[in-house]
Amino acid sequence: MTAQIIDGKAIAQQVRAEWKLRADALKARGVTPGMAVIIVGSDPASKVYVAGKVRACAELGLYSIHVELPEDTSEAVLLAKIDELNHDPKIHGLLVQLPLPKHLNAHKVIEAINPDKDVDGFHEKNIGALVTGETPFPSCTPYGVMVMLEKTGIRVEGKHAVVVGRSNIVGKPMALLLLHKNATVTICTSKTVDLAKHTRDADILVAAVGRPNFITGDMVKPGAVVIDVGINRTADGKLCGDVDFASVKQVAGYLTPVPGGVGPMTITMLVANTVRAAERLSGLSK
Ligand code: GUN
């Protein structure tokens, strides 16, 4: 079997067009959705991600600002900037790019963001709401995976979904979103004993472990849907996922590539969450 490759770029374009209509409807009522991204320091990967976020906003006609703070920014200065943007009526979505320099407490910083502007869905209030299935802002990467599955016509209900990775950004929210759609969910980590026993039982396998080519063809059930969330760089600087594309392609039924798979969906859902934040803050939706 050769897997069908899921084209994340094409699906992202389609979903962006849908959200552009919602953004345009808001603009017709005098509200331009606005996003602010704060980046502290000069991590090269973070800079690339932030540039992609700002570009996506421009593509959909959203207002965006990009605040660059130096590596040695104090907690007080960062919190003051967050407070200023929390109160800026032109800004509906506010995020602080992670990872932060080591001297800053990411938890404290995230908790300072107004939960109604927390388009990453990282604030404890929104994580709590994610658990009950009520969050307005599902975390962008898992949200993008769910939309990608839906647009590909892959049903989740009743399937065994195995998530490899337990991060707050991807693994945990991914498992919850799958559970809300009535999947049977197993969460594994890179340290799970006999990991392949679990992954081989997956109808839907999500790899979010942050290790290059970690999931190999022998770990996949024939015909399974394999979603690769990893973005890693090999020693020669090439981008690769957590899934060994060449071997898994021979076994899986569906497979997402890196790049061009989950990545474009993540940014798309960030824009979607920003439009939803603008709708909510302007009283046009719940
Ligand atoms: N760093 C890597 N992924 C993300 C993300 O989704 N949001 C933020 N704020 N930082 C990240």
How confident is the model over 176-232, as pLDDT tens digits?
A: 999 999 999 999 999 999 999 999 999 999 999 999 999 999 999 999 999 999 999
> Are 251 and 260 contacting, i.e. CB atoms less than 8 angstroms apart?
no
Q: State the closest ligand 1 atom to the C-alpha of 141, by its place in the atom list counted from 1.
A: 6
Angle at 27 between CA 26 and CA 28, to 5 degrees: 90
Amino acid in the structure at residue 95 = L
Mutate to test the pocket of ligand 1, among 49, 126, 268 (most ligand atoms within 8 A of CB): 49
Q: Identify whether 97 is a catalytic site residue.
A: yes
Position of tokens 């990545």? Answer: 263
Tokens of 125: 């209030």
pLDDT digits (tens, 9 = 90+) for 16-66: 999 999 999 999 999 999 999 999 999 988 999 999 999 999 999 999 999
Q: Measuring from atom 2 of ligand 1, which residue has the nearest CA?
A: 98
pLDDT of residue 167: 96
CA dihedral in degrees (163, 167, 169, 175; nearest 10)?
A: 30
List, edge to edge, every strand of the sheet that includes 63-69. 63-69, 34-40, 93-96
CATH architecture classification, 31-114: 3-Layer(aba) Sandwich (3.40)
> Are 110 and 123 contacting, i.e. CB atoms less than 8 angstroms apart?
yes
**Averaged pLDDT, 264-276:** 97
Measured from the Cβ of residue 105, the count of other Cβ atoms closer than 10 Å reads 12
pLDDT of residue 135: 96
Q: In the chain, list all ranges with CATH 3.40.50.720.
A: 140-263
pTM higher than 0.85 for the full model? yes
Mutate to test the pocket of ligand 1, among 43, 46, 66, 95 (most ligand atoms within 8 A of CB): 95
CB of 284 shorter than 6 A to ligand 1: no
Q: Identify whether 14 is a catalytic site residue.
A: no
In angstroms and rounded to an integer, the radius of gyration of the C-alpha atoms of the chain is: 19
Q: Measuring from atom 11 of ligand 1, which residue has the nearest CA?
A: 98
CB of 140 shorter than 6 A to ligand 1: yes
CB of 120 shorter than 6 A to ligand 1: yes
pLDDT of residue 234: 85
- Phi/psi at 163 (nearest 5 deg)? -105, 120
Q: Measuring from atom 8 of ligand 1, which residue has the nearest CA?
A: 97
Q: State the closest ligand 1 atom to the C-alpha of 139, by its place in the atom list counted from 1.
A: 6
User: 140-263 maps to which CATH number?
Assistant: 3.40.50.720
In this structure, the chain runs to a length of: 286
- pLDDT band at residue 286 under the 50/70/90 scheme: low
Catalytic residue among 81, 117, 118, 120: 120
Q: In the chain, list all ranges with CATH 3.40.50.10860.
A: 31-114
